[in-house]
Structure formats: structure tokens, C-alpha cells
Structure 1
Amino acid sequence: MCRRRPASFHAVLAVGLALATLCGCQRGREVEAPASAPAAPADPVAVAATPELKDVIETTPAYIIGISYPQEAVRYPPLARALQDYAAAVQDQLMQALGELKGRRPAVPYDLSLNFSLVAETPRVVAVAATGSSYLGGAHGVPLEQRFVWLPQMQQMLAAEQLIPNAADWVPVSDYVRAQLKTRVQRDLDDDHLDPDVYAEQLQMRGGMIDEGTAPKPAHFARFEPVMNADGSIRALRFVFPPYQVAPYVEGTQTVDVPARVLLPLVAPAYRPLFRAG
């Protein structure tokens, strides 16, 4: 449950949840990972057709692109294709933004920095985090945050609406996350020693952002990665909230770990064996 300050690359870059519309200085739209992969096991033809995961480095006077992949993901062709699809989508955004300039060179080169990292790999759960930034002009860029959870034995990508299919069951998750985030905000404001009026204003504003960004809907919890026990079971899910979803841009990406003891009563029966509480 950490708080990370945004990194800068020319400017701090990114595509976060609904951020493109909230940040008027940005042209791009949010890029979502595919919600799920084909349920049927991958056949040899499909595996053979999976392109290699090749890192990308391109530098021109108009743009810079850097993309890196974990080579372990090649072992899971549908997951590898999902990573490639996401990278292709954010690259397309950059190229479309350049096309809108009609041959003019941007004052500051546009750039895309995207790193895929393996965060879990067991026989039952493989997870990849995508983090980075995309600068397409303006005061700053937009954070890129996405998560991919592949279940090899089930041959499917795990999405939030599959994990907890009952809409009402997102309420306990929302309540838990809100409590953690609001406690964090109050602690930070206490450390800042603000005037009482400013303190109250900030507390109300930040609390409102948290309430809105964690409303009990699967879309608000679409980005998550497993926190694993030593035996390969999941002890918690780390939900990831890009800038502007639950906190101002300067606060960076926020994460909250929701323990298995909270999740297990809510999770669909098919996925409960993946978890172990305590």
C-alpha cells in the first residue's frame, strides 16, 4: 500500500482512468487492456502465429518511443498478444497526434515510455504490470497504468467483472479501499500542518475525489495485480488508481492492497481456490 510520486520524462507522461477527458491539455484517449482472452486453450497454430515480444526504441526529431517487454510472457501467447495490443494502441495514439500536426514538428518531441514487468508467475496465475507515460503536448503527459492477469490453467484473462460478478459485492471492496485512502490523506494533511480552513478544504476535496473514483463499480477497480503467498496462492489484490482517479495529479498513482479475507466471500466460486487468507 504505497504512494508513488509521478516520474518525469520530458514531462510526466501517461493514460489513466478517464484522464484524457479530465486533462484538457491532452489529445489521447484512455487505452484499456482486453478484458479477457479466449476461453479455449490456445492451439499450436495460434501459438506459432504469436509474434515475438521485441523491445522498441525509436528516436526522431518529432517523437521518442521506448517499450520494453518481459520475455517470460512469450510462454503465454494470449497474454503476449494482449501486451502487444496495448502497446500498439498507445503507439497509434501518438502517431494520430502527430498526424494532426500535418507535418509540423512539435515544439517538444512527443514521447511514449512504456514498461511491461512480470509481477507474478505461478502455474495458476501470471500477472504483468504496464507502467509508463505518453506525452502528446501540453503542460504534461498522461500516466500509463494497466494490469494483465492471466490464468494459465483456465486459459483466460481475469477481469474485475468476472472476479466479483455480483454488483452489490463491490460495496465492501469500495468501503475498504475508501477507508485506506482517506486515512492516508488525513495522515498526509496532518503532516503538512495546514491552516484549519485549508485543511478542511483539502480534506473535503480529496475525500470527494476518493468517493467518486472508488464508487462500487467494476470499472473503477479494473486495474489490479495479485500479491502472492509463498505457496503460490493470492493473499491480496493490489488495486491501482492512476492520477486523477482518487487523487490530484501531483500525488501520482495510488494503490491499495485488499486482503483475501475481505475478498473471498465476494469472489466468484470458480476463482476462490486461487486465494488463501491468513
Structure 2
Amino acid sequence: MFKARFGLALLLIAGLAACHKKPDDQKAKAPPATVAPLGFARTNDDAQVSLTLPDPIKLYPELHTRLYHEGQASLTAFLDQAHKDRAEASADGFPTPAYYHSITWKIAAQSSRFVSLYAEEDDYQGGAHPNSSFQALLWDKSKNDLIPTGSLFAPGADMSGVDRFLCHQIEAARAARIGAPVTQSGSGFPCPDLKDSRLILIPSTIDGKIGAVDALYAPYEVGPYAEGPYEVRIPQSQLKGLIAPAYADQFAGEAIKEEALPDPDSDKDKAQ
């Protein structure tokens, strides 16, 4: 009887030991976490879509995963809508060319705390011409999360001066493009508020700091479609006293000269 009980006890101990080891074994054999791709593309009879992410975004896995999955979901929905739209148009006797939509993310600047990103989006949905638009995001490394770009500015800050500067810069850029003086009030397009604009950070001549803020405007937002997009730089001299105290240490030095968007007149200069 003693030997039988002793043998049963050994079996129970062995079984318990095996149970304790099983989670470790399963953990060791668990597949590695998947890393989101840097791109997504699909093409069918109704539409062509693509998403492109910059390679450095891999340094920020949560941001990388978020932008990939949101972009993929948006483009998949676009494919579905393109099929419905083109089927309806064809049934009504108005066939349309295939749609397309591309989203290209780029990193504008990085500081010790921020990653500033923007996306250029181009799409065609059967209208008279394609359309373009922008997204602008600000990733706070310390929070590991996105924050509104408008939160760069101190609560209650008087933005009237910088808003006037922004409007005058838009007017000057428009005048240069059309070759004649122009005012926003006479153009039919409003003067935007900086805080509500799509903002990107511009690297400074001092490494790891931000030298300026640029505002991005798609066609139709501050001027007619034919004038294309606008990028307006706000230097630090216009931002004094406006940046939230928690972020003031991120700004120093002068902005580098490069702009995120290509010069719309560059092709004209080459032709001449």
C-alpha cells in the first residue's frame, strides 16, 4: 500500500511540474510580434490605391502601426466606394475612368520630444480633375501618443498678430504666382487662423531643435485650384510668447531653408 501511494505521489508531482513548465514552453515558442509594413497597394478594375510610410517611422512602433492600419482601412473603404460609384455611373450611361488615391507620409522634423509628420494625398473620383490634400500630425515621444498641433500654443495666447502675419504671407505668395498684387479679402478666400491650420515643424540650424512652423494649405483652401498648394513659414520671431511653456525648450536657432513642398514655380524657372 505504501509503495502504491508513493508511486501515485511521484506521478502527481511530475504532472504538476509539467504543468508549471508548459507556459514557459509556450512563451518560448510564441511567434514574434508582427511589424507593420511600410506600404500598402491594391489595384482592380475600379481603382488604384497606395500607402507609403517613411522608413524612420519604424523607430516608433505604435505610431507606425497606427498610421498603417488607419491608412489601409481608409484605402480599402475607398476601393469599395469606387466600385459602387462607377457601377452606378455606368448604369446611368455615364462611365467614368478608374479612381485612384495615394497617401504618402513624410517626416518633416524631429526634436528631442516631437516627431512632426505630414501626408500628401492625391485622389481622383470621377470629377473634372484630381484633388490633393494634406494631413499633419504631431507625435509626442514622452507621451507615446499623438497630440493636436494646436496644443503647441499656450492656452489663451493672443494669436491675432501671427494670424495677420500668416495672411500677409499668403497674399505675398499669391501675388508672386499670379504676377499682380492681391488681398485675401478681395480674392474670395478667407485668411486662415494659424492654430487651426495643418502645421508641421521645421528643423533648426541647432541639432535636435525646431526652427520654425510651416502651415500647409491644399488647393481651394486659400486660393483657386490652379494656384496649387501653399506652404507658409512662420519664423520664431513671430512665435515669441505664443508657444506653450512645456514645449518652449524644443524651439531654438533658425529654420533650415528647405521647404516640405516643391516650389510651384521651379518648372517655370527651368523652362526659361
On whether the aligned pair clears a TM of 0.5, the verdict is yes
| Alpha carbons 1:120, 1:228 under 8 Å: kept | yes
* Deviation sequence 1:29-72 (CA, Å, 0-9, x none): xxxxxxxxxxxxxxxxxxx8775034122222211112211132
Q: What is the aligned partner in structure 1 of residue 166 from structure 2? A: 177
| Alpha carbons 1:114, 1:130 under 8 Å: kept | yes
Pair 1:65-2:49 in alignment: yes
Distance 1:107 1:187, change over 3 A: closer
| Alpha carbons 2:111, 2:210 under 8 Å: kept | no
Distance 1:123 1:208, change over 3 A: same
Query: Whose helix fraction is larger, Structure 1's or Structure 2's?
Result: 2
Q: Which has the higher contact order (CA 8 A, sep 6+)?
A: 1
Offset, 1:204: 5.2
Counterparts of 1:41-56 in structure 2, within 5 Å, are 52-56=36-40
Offset, 1:274: 0.9
Counterparts of 1:89-168 in structure 2, within 5 Å, are 89-102=74-87, 107-166=96-155
Offset, 1:244: 0.7
Pair 1:218-2:195 in alignment: yes
CA distance in 1, matches of 2:82, 2:191: 28
Q: 1:274 aligns with which of 214, 225, 250?
A: 250
Q: What is the aligned partner in structure 1 of residue 241 from structure 2? A: 265
Offset, 1:233: 0.7
CA distance in 2, matches of 1:49, 1:167: 44
SS at match of 2:176: helix
Counterpart residue identity of residue 225, structure 1: I
Matched residue count: 217
Q: Which has the larger radius of gyration?
A: 2
Q: 1:80 aligns with which of 50, 64, 71?
A: 64
SS at match of 1:132: strand
Offset, 1:75: 2.0
SS at match of 1:247: coil
* Deviation sequence 1:130-185 (CA, Å, 0-9, x none): 11301111112221311222121242323233112535533222111111111222
Distance 1:124 1:206, change over 3 A: same
Distance 1:82 1:164, change over 3 A: farther
Q: Percent identity?
A: 24
Q: 1:235 aligns with which of 211, 219, 223?
A: 211
| Alpha carbons 2:152, 2:244 under 8 Å: kept | yes
Q: What is the aligned partner in structure 2 of residue 188 from structure 1? A: 177
TM-score of the pair, normalised by structure 1: 0.68
CA distance in 2, matches of 1:157, 1:135: 29
Distance 1:112 1:232, change over 3 A: same
Ranges in structure 2 where 5+ consecutive residues have no aligned partner? 1-31, 255-272
* Deviation sequence 1:68-115 (CA, Å, 0-9, x none): 111321221332244222453254244224324447765201111221
Q: What is the aligned partner in structure 2 of residue 41 from structure 1? A: none
CA distance in 2, matches of 1:50, 1:266: 42
Distance 1:104 1:175, change over 3 A: closer
CA distance in 2, matches of 1:265, 1:81: 36
